[in-house]
Amino acid sequence: MLGPPLSCVVSVSGVRGVVGDTLRVEHALGLAQAFAIAVAHGGPVVVGRDTRASGRALVQAVSAGLAAAGCPVIELGIVPTPTVAIAVTHLGAAGGIQVSASHNPHEWNALKFFTSGGRNIDGEQLEWLLNCYRDPPMGLHRRWDGIGGWREEHGVLDIHLQRVLAAVEARAIRARRFTVLVDCVNGAGCVLAPRLLAALGARVVAVHDRTDLPFPRDPEPTAANLRQVGALVRAANADLGFVQDPDADRLAIIDEQGRYIGEEYTLALCALARLEQAGPGNLVCTNLSTSRLIDDVAARCAARVERTPVGEAHVVDAIQRHQAAIGGEGNGGVIDPRVVLGRDSHIAMALVLELLARRQQPLSEIVRGLPSYAIHKEKLALDRAALRAALPALQAAFAGDGMHSDQRDGLKLLGHDRWVHVRASGTEPVTRVIAEAPTAEEAQALCARVRALLGAEQIIDGHRL
């Protein structure tokens, strides 16, 4: 075995845990060595990180592991996760590793793995990596004359910027001279988001844009965590506010009135912008937990929706398989394959501004013109094995309500005007329950019923209730 046994969260979304507890430097060293053999096959590997205090130490371990297995290392420093994916293809690398735990609190960190195609590894590649970690081949460690080299690369942010600008009607956006507040949560988005918005002609009001400071709050861009940001948008007299997560692959939006419109609207607005431009007959790919709002938007544009299990890699699989115009997830993650085969808050910001420029309407008015659904999300203290054992009884309990089931990812129960999705998280050791219904009370009641049937405690702010 190349390191200690893995007791952290392992999925195609990355290997993540609490640093010094379930994720240690020894894990990062061994996982990088396994990646070098199983995925990169000794070729050059791009390495980046977000702003977490543990990031530098883990990057050093990752770089050492790669070099020890013969891979040349190209370090990018602090960059958004989508920039790492772009760097892989731009530099012709054999793969990439981003050290970031995305939306998790500061004590967490993770390794995210990318293939030579600039996308997340899939399930099969993850198994190759894990098998190599557990049972490494002979001769993995190179002699002194076979150790991989090392260099820094600082120009990839420019490539990322140019790809986004080329994908939208930049001249029309610049003509509007928007005022935009952007909250980078002191994460990796600080290095690109304000610069992109300025290049689109915006007056930029940047807050929490220091890479040397800790996250100012719980970094997941949810309504509960962004109560103060709406007031900042109003005070700045901004046309809208954008909020990133620490690795800048997710985006939440606040309208000109300071109202958090919900992460589900991020994908819906970007899909509307892209599909209006692309024309009829196109396709949107999204996961099973995303609001039916995306189906309504697609129908307006004579497009259709393909759904997948939750996870960025699954959505990317579908985008590539069907040559979709756009895809993403209801957590604020937008995937535009013209820019990168992964979630990217920067193209999401540009697409929303493009839609506003084209419509010549304020954001609140565009949102009012879209259907409204109530979505409620909970975390339960129930691990993957316990959930798997409980799903048959849960399905039977809802069968009498006339709800049919989709078992591609946990259990999704669908009625004519509501649904509830129960699945093990790929990023935390919890069960996620997401429900959508005509009213907030009905969505909450669906989650409460699932919680009672599972006999599980709800987790709020890290505490069991």
Measured CA distances, 459 to 7, 101, 379, 446 (Å): 20, 19, 5, 17
Residues 121, 127: Cα–Cα separation, whole Å: 10
Provide the token pair at 191.
């290095």
Q: Which of 54, 63, 100, 102 is catalytic?
A: 102
Residues near 447 by beta carbon (within 8 Å), at least 6 away in sequence: 376, 377, 378, 420, 433, 434, 435
Residues near 158 by beta carbon (within 8 Å), at least 6 away in sequence: none
The values of phi and psi at residue 136, to 5°, are -70, 150
**Is residue 116 annotated as part of the catalytic site, yes or no?**
no
| CB contact at 8 A, 356 and 367 | no
Which residues are known catalytic residues? 102
